[in-house]
Structure 1
Amino acid sequence: MTVQNQKRVIGNLLLENIPQVPASLTQKLRLYQESREYSFADWLPDGRGLLVSTRSGESAQLYQLQKAGGHCEQLTYFSEPVSAAIVRPGASPGEALLSKDNGGDEAFQFYLQPLAGGAPTCLTDGISKHGNPVWSPDGRFFLFSSTMRNGRDQDIYRYDLSTKEWQLAFAARGYWYPVAWSPNGQWATVLHYKSAQESALHLLDVDTGELQSVQSGPGISCREGYWSADGGLLYFTSDAENDWRELWTFSPETGQAERLTGDLPWEIERVAVAPTGEEAAFVANVHGYSRLYLYCRSTRSYRAIEQLPGGVIRNMKWHPERPELALTLDLPTLPANVFVLDARNGECTQWTNATTAAAQPSLVPEPELITYPTFDKAGGSPRKIPAFYFRPGQDATAPLPVLIYIHGGPESQFRPGFLPTFQYYMAELGLAVIAPNVRGSSGYGKRYLELDNGYRREDSVRDIGALLDWIGQQPELDTSRVAVMGGSYGGYMVLASMIHYGDRLSCGVDVVGISNFVTFLENTKPYRRDLRRVEYGDERDPDMRRHLEEISPTSHAHRITKPMLIVQGQNDPRVPASEAEQILKAIRSSGGEAWYMLARDEGHGFRKKTNRDAFNQAVALFLQTFLLPSGEKLEIAARQGTVAQG
């Protein structure tokens, strides 16, 4: 029997078998969708204020902010979101270099935007992927990475603003990108990223192309690479002497490298060096939360900054003249805001006012960090998998239905930032949400990171099985009502979980997920292919190809017997839309039920508000339909005002 799929087109969205979303659900969810966050981009010229990013209409745009709590003056008006921006040093009037793509294709182009307003000028070819721009100290040049040479390798180029021309500064196989220019303008730190487990740090003579190694080697992963104000030291992170990356310094004069944080048992993930004075700020990843430290070069000591609340720090940079550090801080209970820390007295000032209409921050439940045992052992004891457990408020009725949320990557980590959709799931649907960091996640050291590589791919899926076992031991959770949701690699994990544990799951949501590792590796953009082969295996090897085919969800789609929601961006350069289309066809061919949403103007995830709102509405309706029993659906409808009260 042929099943007729109901298709609708709304704007740039193609919907298949997704029912009309009730107005009551849309209205209730709107409170959560109207949250607004802010992100720090850079200091304005002479440090007179901040350049920040926040949503304007459909997408994130740039704003100028002259003082804490002041009015944000909009600078850019693109239909596409602006992904990053850095202010040009010494330019008068001021200018900023920004990047954006088209429809989520990630072929980022650079634009020079006058800070006084006016139209930006595109500086790049409009075709290739460009990234990681770094200004020279005098603001005449910037270095950047690009695929211009062959579409596969990412080389390093130098752009001259005085001539409006670029030239190839360094070319080699693989992914190379600049980090920082030395104060004297001769050298730039560059990274050769080979995989999440291995990356090498070098010094590049910008004029001659000469390359000098700072630290490299099999199994060594370096990051960062920022100069002290006098150019005498380079600050970077490395796991050369430990299971996690630590803060190091390197002296270009002596060629000696030194560990600074060997006594901290956490991954160092972010570094910023003051352009004046002798301080460096660095961030430790403490079980997913960020902890900020300040290092003093003269005393060779560091101290933790206790004034910041627990959350996730992003995008930090020092004031060009004063010991003030601007940063983005994302809290579990409030959307991200921009703060400025005064290193002289430890005072931390909030510059922006992120908003959420759904609930007061004091009423938003914080997640609990838990661990649960999995199938294998570490150090003679059952290996523990970390997870964040979001519980609804005290008035929720137990046992609670559960949503398992699996992050992508896999070399990534679920971290406790603000997620308005989670707040909706808890407050309006009465769901508990559990976000595990299964093996292969970052933030827990390189041994944990490598536990799912190659032939061990399905071990991470078994970690989800162990989580289902743990859920079954919790009296407040309902083992008969469990859904799983994830994006990218997390989408693969959803499909694999529905195959292996479908009898224990009610439904699944796959967002831009991998459905077949062979076709994924063959069709992902060429500049990503070798990097992904290190993680998943090389499909050109016959034995590995057979293994990848065997574990791919398309090979077992007939075992997916519970409802699925599949979501995809048409322009995705990472996981092509063909991955969604082939699993959708396979599930339906086997008689399975699948809703489908395709955005024609998005890529690897939805960034435009209209599309994102429609996606969130579809997910909410899907979970309400397949995870909640009819009695709870009536209660929800009554709360939303769609059932007459007698």
Structure 2
Amino acid sequence: MKTLRVTALLIFLLPTFQAWAQAPESLIPRKVLFGNPERSSPEISPDGRTLGYLAPEQGVLNVWVRTLGKTDDRVITHDRKRGIRNFSWQYDSKNVLYTQDQDGDENWRVYQTNVASTQTKDLTPFAKVRADIVALEPSHPDSILIQLNKRDAKLFDVYRVNLNTGQLALDTENPGDVLSWQADHDLQVRAAQVTTPDGGTLIRVRNNAKSSWRELMKWGPEETLGVIVDFSPDNHALWVITSLEANAARLLAVDLATGKRTVVAQDPQFDVSFLVTQPRTHKLEAVVFLRERRDFQILDPALKADYEALKKLRDADISNISRDLADDRWVVTFEGDDAPIYYYLYERGAKKASVLFSSRPDLEKYTLAKVRPIEYTARDGMLIYGYLTSPAGVDARNLPLVVLPHGGPWGRDAWGYDPYAQWLANRGYAVLQPNFRASTGYGKKYLNAGDRQWAGAMHTDLLDGEEWAVKQGVADRTKICIMGGSYGGYATLAALAFSPDAFSCGVDIVGPSNLNTLLKTIPPYWSTFVAIFHRRMGEDEEFLKSQSPLFKAEQIKAPLLIGQGANDPRVNKAESDQIVAAMRKNHKPVQYYVFPDEGHGFARPQNRMAFNAASEEFLAKYLGGRFEPPSEAERKLLESIKQ
């Protein structure tokens, strides 16, 4: 699919609540949930002969390969620090490409590893420069396009890289306002997306690399966060996802010569989320909507039989399909709610599939919780969607509750396996994941209802979800905590500061506390869409101050746990420092851990497991759930980084 997304320790229970008289499920060790997967993210080589995947080597995720039909698995990369989190095949099937940063600074470099020799080459060896892959094309297997902010830290220019020699040459210079680039199927940059000063979007195109740019279409700031997806197979039209002239974002084919817009796929409520295209011809075969679950709208009848065959394999959603160029072999990813992620090899001609592996086989011996789509009515009458996960093996009645808002905030939670929801449910908590207003995927009315509402209606949507869970009989009103990362961390701070009696405790991971300082310290390369922040968050300093938990820190009553990466380029460490200082000045209870080798979140498993050890011990203290005590190594790490 081309989508344009240690031995278990002694366990003990704190005095808990009535539900656990029903013989709770076994405690799942943190390592099983949050350690490295055994194998994950498989991708088939373009020639269909080799499987690449991620797996640990010496405790660090690296790229491995296996000849399909054999068991000759071997590691080809040798990262020793953060681990590799994504890779792709070159179209020659002889090399793989991956990106890596330094301690979470998000200044990615692009690396090339030869499968036969295992030699790795840094294609973008530039300090304090971010590199992203813009395009690969099967008809041009010896080149790729990348973008670098080397000339100007605020702007990305496009460079062409010769994959045989490593030679890099400037291809397209950013005129000063381009947010993103799109290449056609001849690997020519012919479309650019620009954020206008009011937060709207402008699409520019050109006939070829020597032609001048011209405006193709534009839309205002009230539309969804639209995007250029791809060129049509003949390069004569542009596929664009936008809510222009509709509520939900539709897929449009926009003729490059005339500007005529043709609706290809749409839904009145849900945005088009992904496209499925044929790997060599680029023919559009399906679109995906994220409803309660993933829903494929098949556009090419030739794909229907394959999709029907795949649906019968598991009660799970298809989240990725990696295909060889002959389109004979597919590697299909299935994500269910109560099982690890499974990967299948599908032989298209025979319509037969076989299991390759699951991401976490150690998890299969445990009973996981089911995830239930829910909806509730906010205080202003707006219908809010989300998901509820309750502990397996017990009645979902009068449980302690963790409200788990997602990050973004322009994103959403979806049905499927979520290690955090499963972890919390296994510890005895009901878990509510509200897709509060401003979440994406539900159309522009839903998105726009969150404009300038970070501490307003977006905040009260969480309170209304909490109240819904209590009235449903699921949650014990006296035992409710809020926990989240990034925007979810902000939501945690806001909940405790603006509604100090609503929650028993809070866990904030890399959340901003002051919206003014947040916007002043964002990465320089976000300058091309800062107008969207101003539109969605607000621009006036006094208004942003009124939405900032830092200035209501004296109202916080509930205990707070904070985790922060020292190198976070999005939410600067100072965001956590200042709320911690304010709380301590007011003699408020706060625990604070700063990881010196992390950025916006915790990529290294040992850091992730250590903070989660602190989190579950913290939650158990205030909500009464179960917890796995920290290991000696985790305790030492936490002691060394405690602020």
Q: Shift of the alpha carbon at 1:330?
A: 2.7
Match of 2:64 in 1: 63
- In the alignment, the residues of structure 2 paired with residue 370 and residue 252 of structure 1 have an alpha-carbon distance, to the nearest angstrom, of 42
Match of 1:172 in 2: 175
Match of 1:394 in 2: 393
- In the alignment, the residues of structure 1 paired with residue 237 and residue 250 of structure 2 have an alpha-carbon distance, to the nearest angstrom, of 16
SS of 1:578's equivalent in the other structure is: helix
The answer as to whether partners of 1:229 and 1:275 remain within 8 angstroms in 2 is no
Residue 545 (1) aligns with residue 541 (2): yes
Of the structure 1 ranges 520-529 and 288-297, higher mean CA displacement relative to structure 2 is found in 288-297
Match of 1:148 in 2: 150
- In the alignment, the residues of structure 1 paired with residue 343 and residue 144 of structure 2 have an alpha-carbon distance, to the nearest angstrom, of 26
The answer as to whether partners of 1:278 and 1:297 remain within 8 angstroms in 2 is no
The answer as to whether partners of 2:147 and 2:158 remain within 8 angstroms in 1 is yes
Match of 2:272 in 1: 268
Residue 561 (1) aligns with residue 561 (2): no
SS of 1:149's equivalent in the other structure is: strand
The answer as to whether partners of 2:135 and 2:187 remain within 8 angstroms in 1 is no
Match of 2:107 in 1: 107
Match of 1:602 in 2: 598
Of the structure 1 ranges 366-375 and 255-264, higher mean CA displacement relative to structure 2 is found in 255-264
Residue 523 (1) aligns with residue 521 (2): yes
Match of 2:17 in 1: none
Match of 1:642 in 2: none
The answer as to whether partners of 1:487 and 1:512 remain within 8 angstroms in 2 is yes
The answer as to whether partners of 2:198 and 2:531 remain within 8 angstroms in 1 is no
Gap change, CA 1:316 and 1:105, over 3 Å in 2: farther
Gap change, CA 1:173 and 1:374, over 3 Å in 2: same
- In the alignment, the residues of structure 2 paired with residue 69 and residue 622 of structure 1 have an alpha-carbon distance, to the nearest angstrom, of 47
Residue correspondences, number: 601
From 495, 504, 507, the counterpart of 1:506: 504
Same amino acid, percent of matched pairs: 22
SS of 1:357's equivalent in the other structure is: helix
Pairwise mapping of residues 477-516 of structure 1 onto structure 2 (< 5 A)? Answer: 477-516=475-514
- In the alignment, the residues of structure 1 paired with residue 568 and residue 585 of structure 2 have an alpha-carbon distance, to the nearest angstrom, of 25
- In the alignment, the residues of structure 2 paired with residue 71 and residue 300 of structure 1 have an alpha-carbon distance, to the nearest angstrom, of 34
Match of 1:120 in 2: 120
- In the alignment, the residues of structure 2 paired with residue 636 and residue 144 of structure 1 have an alpha-carbon distance, to the nearest angstrom, of 45
Match of 1:643 in 2: none
CA deviations 1:305-326 (Å, max 9, x no partner) are: 7446565654544421125554
Gap change, CA 1:235 and 1:578, over 3 Å in 2: same
Of the structure 1 ranges 433-442 and 144-153, higher mean CA displacement relative to structure 2 is found in 144-153
- In the alignment, the residues of structure 2 paired with residue 466 and residue 512 of structure 1 have an alpha-carbon distance, to the nearest angstrom, of 24
Residue 329 (1) aligns with residue 328 (2): no
From 217, 225, 240, the counterpart of 2:229: 225
Q: Which amino acid aligns with 1:559?
A: Q
CA deviations 1:87-124 (Å, max 9, x no partner) are: 22247xx1222211111110001112112132311121
Q: Which amino acid aligns with 1:128?
A: V
CA deviations 1:430-468 (Å, max 9, x no partner) are: 111111110111111122112222366521001112122
- In the alignment, the residues of structure 1 paired with residue 218 and residue 400 of structure 2 have an alpha-carbon distance, to the nearest angstrom, of 48
Q: Shift of the alpha carbon at 1:165?
A: 2.4
- In the alignment, the residues of structure 2 paired with residue 141 and residue 562 of structure 1 have an alpha-carbon distance, to the nearest angstrom, of 55
Pairwise mapping of residues 274-353 of structure 1 onto structure 2 (< 5 A)? Answer: 274-276=278-280, 279-296=283-300, 306-307=311-312, 309=314, 311=316, 313-322=318-327, 324-340=329-345, 347-353=352-358
Q: Shift of the alpha carbon at 1:143?
A: 1.4
Of the structure 1 ranges 33-42 and 608-617, higher mean CA displacement relative to structure 2 is found in 33-42
Of the structure 1 ranges 492-501 and 391-400, higher mean CA displacement relative to structure 2 is found in 391-400
Q: Shift of the alpha carbon at 1:163?
A: 6.5
CA deviations 1:64-88 (Å, max 9, x no partner) are: 2433795643221212232432322
Of the structure 1 ranges 105-114 and 146-155, higher mean CA displacement relative to structure 2 is found in 146-155
Match of 2:362 in 1: 357
SS of 2:440's equivalent in the other structure is: coil
Q: Which amino acid aligns with 1:244?
A: A
- In the alignment, the residues of structure 1 paired with residue 590 and residue 111 of structure 2 have an alpha-carbon distance, to the nearest angstrom, of 41
Gap change, CA 1:589 and 1:156, over 3 Å in 2: same
Pairwise mapping of residues 614-633 of structure 1 onto structure 2 (< 5 A)? Answer: 614-628=610-624
Of the structure 1 ranges 256-265 and 493-502, higher mean CA displacement relative to structure 2 is found in 256-265
Unaligned runs of 5+ residues in structure 2 are: 1-7, 13-26, 630-643
Q: Shift of the alpha carbon at 1:198?
A: 4.8
CA deviations 1:393-428 (Å, max 9, x no partner) are: 23358421001101110001112232334333223x
Q: Shift of the alpha carbon at 1:554?
A: 0.7
Match of 1:592 in 2: 588
The answer as to whether partners of 2:438 and 2:448 remain within 8 angstroms in 1 is yes
- In the alignment, the residues of structure 1 paired with residue 517 and residue 348 of structure 2 have an alpha-carbon distance, to the nearest angstrom, of 51
Q: Which amino acid aligns with 1:486?
A: G
Match of 1:85 in 2: 87
Q: Shift of the alpha carbon at 1:39?
A: 4.5
Of the structure 1 ranges 450-459 and 247-256, higher mean CA displacement relative to structure 2 is found in 247-256
The answer as to whether partners of 2:583 and 2:589 remain within 8 angstroms in 1 is yes
Match of 1:475 in 2: 473
Gap change, CA 1:214 and 1:48, over 3 Å in 2: farther
Residue 95 (1) aligns with residue 95 (2): yes
- In the alignment, the residues of structure 1 paired with residue 71 and residue 48 of structure 2 have an alpha-carbon distance, to the nearest angstrom, of 15
Match of 1:383 in 2: 382
Of the structure 1 ranges 185-194 and 512-521, higher mean CA displacement relative to structure 2 is found in 185-194
Q: Shift of the alpha carbon at 1:341?
A: 5.1
- In the alignment, the residues of structure 1 paired with residue 576 and residue 464 of structure 2 have an alpha-carbon distance, to the nearest angstrom, of 27
Supply the RMSD in Å over aligned alpha carbons: 3.5
Gap change, CA 1:520 and 1:129, over 3 Å in 2: same
Gap change, CA 1:327 and 1:208, over 3 Å in 2: farther
- In the alignment, the residues of structure 1 paired with residue 107 and residue 593 of structure 2 have an alpha-carbon distance, to the nearest angstrom, of 23
Q: Shift of the alpha carbon at 1:61?
A: 2.2
- In the alignment, the residues of structure 1 paired with residue 495 and residue 553 of structure 2 have an alpha-carbon distance, to the nearest angstrom, of 11
The answer as to whether partners of 1:52 and 1:64 remain within 8 angstroms in 2 is yes
The answer as to whether partners of 2:273 and 2:290 remain within 8 angstroms in 1 is no
- In the alignment, the residues of structure 2 paired with residue 244 and residue 358 of structure 1 have an alpha-carbon distance, to the nearest angstrom, of 38
Residue 583 (1) aligns with residue 587 (2): no
- In the alignment, the residues of structure 2 paired with residue 396 and residue 330 of structure 1 have an alpha-carbon distance, to the nearest angstrom, of 25
Gap change, CA 1:608 and 1:467, over 3 Å in 2: same
Of the structure 1 ranges 43-52 and 559-568, higher mean CA displacement relative to structure 2 is found in 43-52
SS of 2:375's equivalent in the other structure is: strand
TM-score, structure 1 as length reference? 0.83
SS of 1:493's equivalent in the other structure is: helix
Match of 1:207 in 2: 209
SS of 2:436's equivalent in the other structure is: coil
Gap change, CA 1:212 and 1:312, over 3 Å in 2: farther
Unaligned runs of 5+ residues in structure 1 are: 1-20, 377-381, 638-646
CA deviations 1:46-76 (Å, max 9, x no partner) are: 2223332344454432222433795643221
CA deviations 1:124-167 (Å, max 9, x no partner) are: 11321111331243233321222212111223222234461221
- In the alignment, the residues of structure 2 paired with residue 473 and residue 298 of structure 1 have an alpha-carbon distance, to the nearest angstrom, of 48
Gap change, CA 1:68 and 1:338, over 3 Å in 2: farther
The answer as to whether partners of 1:69 and 1:351 remain within 8 angstroms in 2 is no
CA deviations 1:274-312 (Å, max 9, x no partner) are: 145675343423335222343228999998774465656
CA deviations 1:566-604 (Å, max 9, x no partner) are: 000011000011101111111111111111111100100
TM-score, structure 2 as length reference? 0.84
